Structure 1
């Protein structure tokens, strides 16, 4: 790896001017010199464009405003494929911010001493909207960790496995993996991280480097559309295929990962489509089955899943169960 690589800090934004100044400034405050700060405005209707003028004199900042709102994933794609000129990139959401000025310096030091790394990630804080509740997201791995180990233990780190602002990705490798190609895949960041882990070692910074704001406005907290549910499957199918073709992951290890992570996720998707998009179920199941790395008939041999599936197919029974669940959970007086 070359010395002093360029790092692109990518900030996708949409109508978040109340947070954006802090976000951009936290990027500019990094003590690593070879950076660019790229802001891609997804056709905001507030005064984001005017606000960004305060940074116009800093040559490290590049501001772009899209001609229309192209959606979250396509905005990420625009940043990576059309704006980034660095060797490494970070996606820093417009409501998150760095708190460690040496974050990128620490990451680059790790990268320069380990040529087979494709990513570095760090610990951080998760905050509510007001910033008065902070949870620690601690990364439980060694400074230089096997990507295989992280992949096999994925979805076990609490309260949250990672946030985008805590990961530095290799640009060339991300493009090779066709990152952010499906506009309906709102979890494509998780997919990219899994695939990066299967491609080599991962650097780990134990320090708390950023604050991730969690609030009701986060896009991924909203109810999923039919197309988004179908797209979620690739978050699991694609890494499974890569792991299956890899000599690093044994068939026994992959089988355990399948049972523990892939199957529960795909079962959940099938049930959600059946419950929330019943009129499109046949099409959705067909598409999922065609893209699956193995036959899905094995799922229907699970009595619990089959019972849940049959309940969602019975609209009256499903509606009744939801009402009873709501009542006895204490949410209905």
Structure 2
């Protein structure tokens, strides 16, 4: 079945999110862009997620699918992309998040049209970037009327350790390119990053500084699980991405990229641990992965200070 040109799909994968799903769907219905399809993919929820989501099907833009049995978070992403989307463009909004910018899609598609008129083969449009940093590190950017910047996806991939800022909910990407790149095929908490970094290699990326919505932080967030496991799993993900990127870069470039990404993952792990883990547990966690880097020493100092202050109050 041919994809609908200039149409956008919002995929909303969900599982046991009865308290959030209505807000997610309604934020999509407020988008002022047409044509629009809203694809809710329920991974066999055991709560009222399905009944809440089904109330919106009468709108015509909303389609509800339910897996039976449960297939897992990443497989649900992939099934939505590969089987349920019929638009040329797609963006993923997890069922516990929501959009606040009602013109997010229309502004992005206007940028895409302008870039295409300039002859640029756009494969994705993504927000939440510091454009001054993008200009500093990524060569040959093209500025659009909106202020958004177009750059080579290959250059973005290479300079990600310095200029990248990935947010799934702000990334509108080309469906056919994503399918050819394999979709969401890595069972990891960072499956979204892995899938879309592959897409970026195949054309032009448009970057903006806009934040279109809200990522809700709560105890069930997949990305706030075991921090150390997430950090260690990133290494195998970078190896897989390096294999995919090998035709685009020399071996020294790929090796340097992997090392820079590992260093970035380590710094992120240390900072996130420092922010979310307190007391002696946080220090013991970090001791497992000692590296003589400034961020490590700073984090240990912060955790020790917290521990001493806590003891003084008791």
TM-score, normalization: structure 1? 0.68
SS of 2:126's equivalent in the other structure is: strand
1:230 Cα shift?
Answer: 7.7
SS of 2:20's equivalent in the other structure is: helix
Which structure 2 segments of 5+ residues have no match?
135-142, 144-148, 270-286, 291-299
Distance 1:54 1:139 in 2: 40
Moved more, 97-106 or 28-37: 97-106
Residue 222 in 1 paired to residue 228 in 2? no
The equivalent position to 1:153 in structure 2, one of 152, 159, 176, is 159
Distance 2:259 2:228 in 1: 26
**Would the aligned equivalents of 2:127 and 2:167 in 1 still touch at CA under 8 Å?**
no
SS of 2:210's equivalent in the other structure is: strand
The equivalent position to 1:117 in structure 2, one of 112, 117, 122, is 122
Matches within 5 A, 1:4-15: 5-15=6-16
Aligned match of 1:179: 183
**Would the aligned equivalents of 1:107 and 1:205 in 2 still touch at CA under 8 Å?**
no
1:238 Cα shift?
Answer: 2.6
Change (3 A) 1:229 1:205: closer
Distance 2:218 2:101 in 1: 22
SS of 1:57's equivalent in the other structure is: helix
Moved more, 195-204 or 31-40: 195-204
Distance 1:232 1:261 in 2: 9
SS of 1:243's equivalent in the other structure is: helix
Distance 2:201 2:161 in 1: 15
**Would the aligned equivalents of 1:147 and 1:201 in 2 still touch at CA under 8 Å?**
yes
Change (3 A) 1:82 1:99: same
Distance 1:80 1:202 in 2: 20
Moved more, 73-82 or 195-204: 195-204
Aligned match of 1:244: 246
1:100 Cα shift?
Answer: 1.6
TM-score, normalization: structure 2? 0.72
1:107 Cα shift?
Answer: 1.8
1:144 Cα shift?
Answer: 0.8
What's the RMSD between the two structures over aligned residues?
Answer: 3.3
Distance 2:101 2:172 in 1: 14
**Would the aligned equivalents of 1:116 and 1:201 in 2 still touch at CA under 8 Å?**
yes
Distance 2:209 2:4 in 1: 23
Aligned match of 1:56: 57
**Would the aligned equivalents of 1:8 and 1:36 in 2 still touch at CA under 8 Å?**
yes
Change (3 A) 1:51 1:31: same
1:155 Cα shift?
Answer: 4.0
Aligned match of 1:43: 44
Distance 2:4 2:174 in 1: 14
